[in-house]
Every structure is written in structure tokens, then in C-alpha cells.
Structure 1
Amino acid sequence: MRDFTRVLLLSIVLSVATIFGSGCGALASSYRVAADREPTQSLDQNRSDRMLIKRASLHIEVDDVKTVVAMAASIAEEAGGYVENSSSSGNEDASLTMRVPAEELEGVLDRLAALGTETSRYLSTEDVTGEVIDLEATLKNRIALRDRLRTLLERAQNVKDVLLVEEQLTRLQAQIDSMEGRLKSLRGKAKLASLTLYVNRKRILGPLGYLAKGLWWVTTKLFVIR
């Protein structure tokens, strides 16, 4: 019984080692096919609950930067979001990075744009459904392998085998932690969209300013008509 357990234990360890790039290509290939194959239903890339990450940025010009910054923070909070970070240069300009519920993003953008004069707007969507599906399937198999190794570790009698399995368990757990962290990050980004607001104080030109602007316009037309 002890010999059987030892052989089985070492076989599992070798399988793990090959997954981590330790050699034994044939064994690694056969094991990876069995361990990392994703269930057919999990590979449905057309599922309705797609994981989408939305990002946006908005530039506006206002008369009072400080007042608008406070109003923008209130708009984010009313939508169920928050200000992640912000920076400002007195009452000249400011930027705020906000996280708001993805389904509220466009509405929040419109409300923020109404606080001043909109100069530019950018909106993007990244579909990470495939990555999430791959991570979920691989994570499930890694956890199953970890649990199997733990069970065998309890039955191991040889100190050398115990140390070898513990080493592989440590490396396997690190992979599991990394995958779980990545999944948590992706789900969080999909739930709360990222929105960066740039607020600049409107510039009021004096007589010389208008003159310089006119001269610049005339000069550019000398080279390019349209």
C-alpha cells in the first residue's frame, strides 16, 4: 500500500512539475489535456452576461473650477460611484478619476458635460468575457489539483516526498492566488466604469489676445485653406 501511494504521489508531483515547465513533455501534454480542458458550456462566447469594461474621459471648460469639481464629485456619488483620485492647480484646472456603475456611465457623462462647455469626450468598451471564461476554467482545475495534492500529502510517509509536494503546492497556490486576484479585478472594473474628468478654467482674451488670435488665423490660412 505504501509503495502504491508513493508511486501515485510522485506521479502527481511530476505532473505538476511539468505544468510549471520542469520537463517530461509527454506526461505534461497528457495531463494538461485532462486538467485544463474547459467544459463545452463554459466556452460559450455568445452568452448574454458578457463582461464589458467601460472607460471614458471628458474635457470641459468652466468659470469656477473649484465649484465644478465639488459638483462633479456629488454627481458621481448620486450615481452610486465615488472619486478614486483627484488633482488640481488652484482654480486653474483639475482632474478627477471616478468610478461609477457601468450602466450609469453615459448619463453621468451628460450631467458632467452640462457643468461647463464640453471640448472633447472619449468612450471605449473592452470585452473581457473570453479572458474571464479561460481564467474560471483554469482556476477550477488548479484548485482541484491542489486539493488532490493536499489529500495525498496527508498520506505521504517519506519526508523527501512530503517536501517535494509542499514545494509544488506552494507554487500552485501562488498561481491560484494570482488568478483569483485577476478575476476580482476584472469583475470590479466591469461593475464600475472608470471616468476621468478634466476641468479647465475658461480663458477670457483681452484686446491683444484677440489680435494675436486673428493674426494666427490669417497666418495659418496662408499655408492651408481647409
Structure 2
Amino acid sequence: MTPASTRRLAAITLLATLGLTFAACTGAGSDSASSDGDAGVAAAPEADRLDAPADGFDSNTFSTVSDAANAEKQAPEERSVISTSAITLRGDDVQGIRDDVADIVAAHGGTIADERSASSKGSLRTSRLVIRVPGSDFEATLDELKKAGKVDSFTTKAEDVTTQVIDTRVRVAAQVRSIKRITELLDQAQSIRTIMAIEAQLTRRQAALDSLQAQQAWLADQTTQATISVEINRTDVPVVEEEKDRGFLTGLSAGWSGLKTFVLGSLTVLGAVLPFAVLIAVLGIPAWFVLRRFVRRPEVSEAP
């Protein structure tokens, strides 16, 4: 073989060797990637299991509750209003007006929640009532009350609490779901530490739920029942001045009261002066004896 042929043969052999080596490396890389991918797929469930909270807490629980709350807030809602009113009536017959008010309240399905009355000379002088009527009959009840007597004053107020009602209802629902979830976790807990932590959470959430339910009940009562304060006064009620008592017993009572005032005043003055008197006695008496001992009178000389 000529030298040129030998060089060509060596070059072909070298290229073939490089080609085979490259193909082998490519196949090995593909197999390695494939095996790594299979290992990653197999390890994923295990990683998910290890990454999950030890006690079974799921972060999606609270997001689910939040989504439900937002959906409920976006739903159409009937307006919830707290209606209150105060009316003052005047008339010659307070008892008659009071009875008319009671009839009006009964006709609209209401109740008298509180009543206070004052009498003078055997007849009612004034009467104050707090009545509760269904919110749907609020305006009609007021219209009839205005006709029961002469109206001296009248005020009314309507407070829209729709947002507060919705918010409270949503928070109650969220707390109920949360407590149910925590109760399930408590049944699944095994370690004492986990049980104590879950019970602490359950206690706090139950207290929050009780508070929310009380607020919800108050809102339901105030929005379904309107409150009206009714004051009934008698027309031309003379102001009777109390007659001053006279006689021996009155004088004795006045003298006794004056004596008590004098004694109390004297004791007060004595109590204020006593500390200074004690201080003067403690310091003044020894000083007087010392001065008496060292200060002598000058001797008088005898006459020659």
C-alpha cells in the first residue's frame, strides 16, 4: 500500500471509531434520562406524602372556606334594617291612651317589652312603654300611634346592617366548617402533643363560634322586630308643692339635725387640730423644762 492509501485508511478508521463512540454516548444519555424520569415520577407521591402536614392540615381547607364565603357575599341579599322610634303623646286620659296603644300593638302582632307608670290622686299621670312589633308593621304601627293622642315629639331611625348580617353569617359558616375539619383531625391524631395542639385550636374556635352565634341571634332579633318607645303624659298636670310640716316633731327633727351637724363639725375641727397639738406637746414641754433650768432670775443684792 502506498503511503497515501495508508493515511486514508487510518482516517476512515478514526472517523468510524468516533461515530460509534458518539452513538454509544447518546444511547447511554437517553437511557439515563429515561431512568431518571421514571425515578422522579415514582418519588413524586412519596415527596408529596412527606411534604404534607404531619397532622393532616390541608392549606386548601381555608381557601375553600374563603371561596365559599366570597360566593355567599356575592349572592343577592335582602336588606336588613334595625328600625327604632320614640314618640311622646299627651292627653287628658292617660289610662285610655295607654289602653289604645296596647290594642294597636296587639293588632300588629307586637308585645310590650317594658312599662313604667306614675300615678297622681288615683289616676295615671304618666306612662312609658317599650313595644316590639314586626319590622313589616313598623310604619303602620307608628301611623296608628300618632292618632292615639296629641303628639308632642316624634323621632325615628333606620340603621342598615345588611353587610354586618352577611359577614356574621359567613363567619359562622366558616367557623362551623373549620371546627368540623379540626374534629376530624383530632380523631386521626396519635401523639399526645398533636392532640393537645388540636384541642387548643378547637377550644379557641368554639369560643369564637359561640360569640358569633350570639351576635347573629341579636341581629336577627333587632332586624325582625322594630322597637318603639312610647311616652304618655297627662295634659295640664298641676305642680303640687309639698307642704312643709310644722309642730313639735318637726322642730325636734330640725333641732336633732342641727345638733348632729354641730357635733360632726366640731369633731372635724378637733381631728384637724389634734396632730398639731400632739406635736407641740411633744416638742414644747421638754423645751420649757430646759429653758426653766438654765435661765435663772438675777439675784437681788441686799441693802447696806
Superposition TM-score, scaled by structure 2 size: 0.55
Q: Cα distance, 1:43 vs. partner? A: 3.4
* Residues 1-226 of structure 1 mapped to structure 2, 5 A cutoff: 7-9=53-55, 35-36=65-66, 38-43=69-74, 47=76, 49-90=78-119, 91-203=124-236
| Greater helix fraction, Structure 1 or Structure 2 | 2
SS at match of 2:55: helix
Pair 1:205–1:153, CA change in 2 (3 A): closer
Q: What do you get for the CA RMSD once the two structures are aligned? A: 2.9
Contact 1:10 1:161 in 2 (8 A): no
Deviations 1:72-99 (A, max 9, x none): 1221111011001111112111111110
Pair 1:196–1:129, CA change in 2 (3 A)? same
Q: What does the per-residue CA deviation read over 1:140-167, in whole Å, with 9 as the maximum and x for residues that have no partner?
A: 2111111000001011111222122112
Structure 1: gaps (5+ residues)? 16-29, 207-226
**Aligned-pair CA distance for 1:205:** 7.0
Distance in 2, matches of 1:191 and 1:170, equals 32
Letter in 1 for 2:187: E
Q: Which amino acid aligns with 1:156?
A: A
Greater RCO structure (CA 8 Å; 6+ sep):
1
Instruction: Using the TM superposition, give the Cα deviation of residue 48 of structure 1 relative to its aligned residue in structure 2, in angstroms.
Output: 5.7
Which is greater in Rg? 2
Task: Tell me how far 1:59 sits from its aligned partner.
Answer: 0.5
Distance in 2 (CA, whole Å) between partners of 1:144 and 1:190 is 26
Q: Measure, in 2, the Cα distance between the counterparts of 1:110 and 1:8.
A: 65
* Secondary structure of the corresponding residue to residue 195 of structure 1: strand
Q: 1:190 to 1:87 in 2, by over 3 A?
A: same
Across the two proteins, how many residue pairs are aligned to each other? 187
* Rounded Cα–Cα distance in structure 1 between residues aligned with 2:177 and 2:237: 66
- What amino acid does structure 2 have at the position aligned with 1:73? A
Distance 2:168 2:211 in 1: 10
Q: 1:52 to 1:67 in 2, by over 3 A?
A: same
Name the CA shift for 1:150/1:205 in 2 (closer, same or farther; >3 Å).
closer
Opposite residue 63 of structure 1, the aligned amino acid is D
Which letter does structure 2 place at the counterpart of 1:43? Answer: Q
Question: 134-143 or 147-156, which moves further after superposition?
Answer: 134-143
SS in 2 for 1:92: strand
Structure 2: runs of 5 or more not aligned: 1-48, 240-304
C-alpha contact 2:72 2:170 (8 A) present in aligned 1: no
Q: What is the identity percentage for the equivalent residue pairs of Structure 1 and Structure 2?
A: 25
Q: Distance in 1 between matches of 2:79 and 2:180?
A: 30
CA–CA separation in structure 2 for the residues paired with 1:201 and 1:76: 21
Task: Check whether the contact 1:43–1:133 (CA below 8 A) recurs between aligned residues.
Answer: no
Aligned partners of 1:8, 1:147: CA distance in 2, in Å?
A: 18
